[in-house]
Amino acid sequence: MLRALPFPAALVDDSGHVIETNRWLDTPNGDPLVDLSGEQLEPEQGLALGIGNESRWRVRPLDDDASVLLATAEREDTGDHLMRRFFSSGDSLFVVYDQFGRIIQSNSAWENLLGYDHTTIFGIDSWTLLPPEDLVTRKRVEEELRADGRSEPTFQMRAADGSYRLVQWALHFDTSVGRCFGIGRDVTEEDRLAGELHHRAFHDELTGLANRARFLEELERCVATGTQPAVLFCDLDHFKVVNDSLGHHTGDLLLAAIGRRLGSLSSSVDILVARLGGDEFVVLLGNGTAERATKAARRIFTSMSQPVLIDGHPIHAGMSIGIAVSQTSSQTDAEGLLGRADTAAYQAKRLGRNRYEVFDDAMQATVDRRFNVEEGLHTALRDHGLEVHYQPVVALPGKGIVGIEALVRWRKPNGELVGPGGFLDVAEDAGLMPRLGAFVAAEALEVGAQLGRRGRPMTVSLNVSAGELSAGSEYVTQMFDMVSAVGIEPGNVLLEITELAVVSVETVRPTLQALRNAGLRVGLDDFGTGYSSLSHLRELPIDVVKVDRSYVMDLVSDPVTRAVTGSLLDLCSALDLEVILEGIETTDHASAVEQLGGKLAQGFLFHRPMPKDELLALVGGVRDLETSSLDGSVSTAVAPSN
């Protein structure tokens, strides 16, 4: 109790019995008495206190009540000002209890902290100042005081205004005088700060959800106790586009909104929702089955079906979910289960996004393939292992070539040629599309320039990824510089975007308009596969619409598809938009397109994608034919020679 004093000191009762000494004094033997008849003690009386020097001792009451006195060695640094400073300090509380726990003495610091006057607090049961439910603390403290005479508890104490303060105590019960002496300090603020630090250590600051550390801690606990948990790994679709296009602030607002939606699903005590980082969230079901996990995934999709409003603008946030369910605790570790859920989420993205997949052993092969593909693409970009092939666009009915679409191919070291379906999804996820797109654009624009120098100018179509489009003005500048460098007419360059790249119309419209202002043309590819195609026709600054091959495949056999396609052609004509129908593989397809008024087409019936040399040889061996160009004007095009 006296350990905090930086000088020799002892507590003495009003009969002269030494109650307690601090670490600066040797513990006295027996039960020494001290003559307290005067304010000062002679040096020899100090021997009774266990100090063998010539110091004089000063005795003073601790408070108004003189039943307990403090004896201190009289030195230069132990004057009255030190005593007053210690016992009046705001963080040094002193209180004396009788053997029944009733308060018989307290100092001003104790009274000021709790707001009680000593006349009203005298004689009350000290335990009534603790929260009623804190019976455990009272029992433990009483047991320790009976057994050892000492206890160092920390507990809440009720102040006069009804609030509670957290106080850390050093209690000493002296059986010889039947009193308990306590020195305490207010640690309320320290506890609050510690609570904040703990919360920050285990919670995500942006969303308020649990963080990775907290999630893994709980997952490990579930695994250790054999509750067989299930993990749902939730990865937002195309979040990078939002973050890059609208800025990090908007991206953070979106993540916070998604966090609130997911957090609202935690209706059970064994459900924990966490944000791992970036756009990755996880849901832990403490006792999960595959059925319960898939049901939770469907609830998440229902919650995510409505757009998120950010500054008044709706953003559709899709989500790919991977599910991993623990079968037996002996076969599960926390990181392994989380990794399997992550793998299943990758599979969901590969199969079209905005869906869920449950992990099975076959998925590991998919993970290995993606890793090998990504490594292979890095090598191909470095060692010129990518090629550009070109598929012509023809005008109906004369079948004259009026444009070419640049399509990337990957030539593996073993000579195998891989189409874009075998690696573009990996390239997009790995952030390689800007490099890959720049390579394709440079190759294709040079081919277009060569055709122009040969007197065969035609439109060169380039597919633009979401990652490229999100670069905004940087991408516009890059494209304009590349077009200018090779000498091709900007109007002969068509940049094709897919509806999946259009996360927010407000986000991409400035970029598309800037491209058109630079003289380039913009096309909407795979039309009819998105969620708001017709609104895109009206809201996006585009010149060309490419109708998805799924429409063409059903033109011959499905009257409804014919009616829809015919109406679409009429609508685009009214909006002054060119239409290209892709995927024409049979003469029946071509006839059906012509009957509906289609003028531009692409498909294996006419030409398959071909290397540059084959394209140049084909165009060099064709006869001139007057036909419609992609911009709607009448020009000289080419058709295959016999």
Same domain membership, residue 334 and residue 290? yes
Does 105 map to a domain?
yes
Does 365 map to a domain?
no
Same domain membership, residue 423 and residue 394? yes
Same domain membership, residue 169 and residue 41? yes
Q: Which of 292, 325, 360 is the last residue of a domain?
A: 360
Same domain membership, residue 131 and residue 15? yes
* The residue to which tokens 């596969």 are assigned: 529
What confidence score (pLDDT) does residue 507 get?
72
Which residue segment(s) compose the domain that 269 sits in? 211-360
What confidence score (pLDDT) does residue 110 get?
84
| Backbone phi, psi, residue 338, to 5° | -65, -40
Strand partners, 627: 635
- The residues, any chain, with a CB within 8 Å of residue 383's CB and separated by 6 or more, are none
Does 1 map to a domain?
no
What confidence score (pLDDT) does residue 84 get?
47
Same domain membership, residue 176 and residue 95? yes
Same domain membership, residue 341 and residue 319? yes
Same domain membership, residue 356 and residue 466? no
Tokens, residue 299: 């609830």
Q: Nearest-CA neighbor of 377 among 342, 320, 437, 424?
A: 424
What confidence score (pLDDT) does residue 85 get?
47
Q: C-alpha distances in angstroms, 419 versus 86, 251, 409, 467?
A: 82, 33, 5, 20
Does 205 map to a domain?
no
Same domain membership, residue 580 and residue 431? yes
Does 520 map to a domain?
yes
Q: Which of 360, 379, 409 is the last residue of a domain?
A: 360
Angle between helix 362-383 and helix 433-453 axes, rounded to 10 deg: 50
Strands 459-463 and 493-498: parallel
Does 575 map to a domain?
yes
What confidence score (pLDDT) does residue 47 get?
52
Look up the CATH number of the domain holding residue 261: 3.30.70.270
Question: Quick one: 350 exposed, middle or buried, by C-beta within 10 A (0-12, 13-18, 19+)?
Answer: middle
Same domain membership, residue 460 and residue 379? yes
What confidence score (pLDDT) does residue 83 get?
42
What confidence score (pLDDT) does residue 3 get?
55
Q: Nearest-CA neighbor of 107 among 119, 121, 95, 123?
A: 95
Its sign, for the CA torsion 523, 528, 533, 534, is positive
Q: Which of 191, 226, 250 is the last residue of a domain?
A: 191
3-state secondary structure of 529: coil
Q: Long-range contacts of range 562-569, CB-CB < 8 Å, 24 or more positions apart?
A: 562/592, 562/596, 565/596, 566/596, 566/597, 568/527, 568/528, 569/596, 569/597, 569/598
Under-70 pLDDT residues of the chain: 1-8, 22-58, 62-66, 73-91, 267-269, 328-332, 499-506, 529-533, 621-642
Does 583 map to a domain?
yes
Question: Could you give the number of structural domains in the chain?
Answer: 3
Strands 634-640 and 622-628: antiparallel
Q: C-alpha distances in angstroms, 128 versus 133, 156, 233, 325?
A: 11, 11, 50, 50
What confidence score (pLDDT) does residue 437 get?
92
What confidence score (pLDDT) does residue 24 get?
56
Strand partners, 492: none
Look up the CATH number of the domain holding residue 401: 3.20.20.450
Note the helical H segments in 29-134.
Answer: 43-46, 80-88, 108-114, 118-121
What confidence score (pLDDT) does residue 305 get?
86
Helix, strand and coil percent figures for the chain, each rounded to 5: 40, 25, 30
Same domain membership, residue 17 and residue 127? yes
Its sign, for the CA torsion 568, 570, 575, 577, is positive
Same domain membership, residue 547 and residue 451? yes
* pLDDT (tens digit per residue) in 559-573: 998 898 998 899 888
What confidence score (pLDDT) does residue 63 get?
61
* pLDDT (tens digit per residue) in 22-57: 655 655 544 566 666 665 665 556 555 555 555 566
Strands 544-547 and 164-174: unpaired
Same domain membership, residue 513 and residue 460? yes
Whole-prediction pTM: 0.54
Does 451 map to a domain?
yes
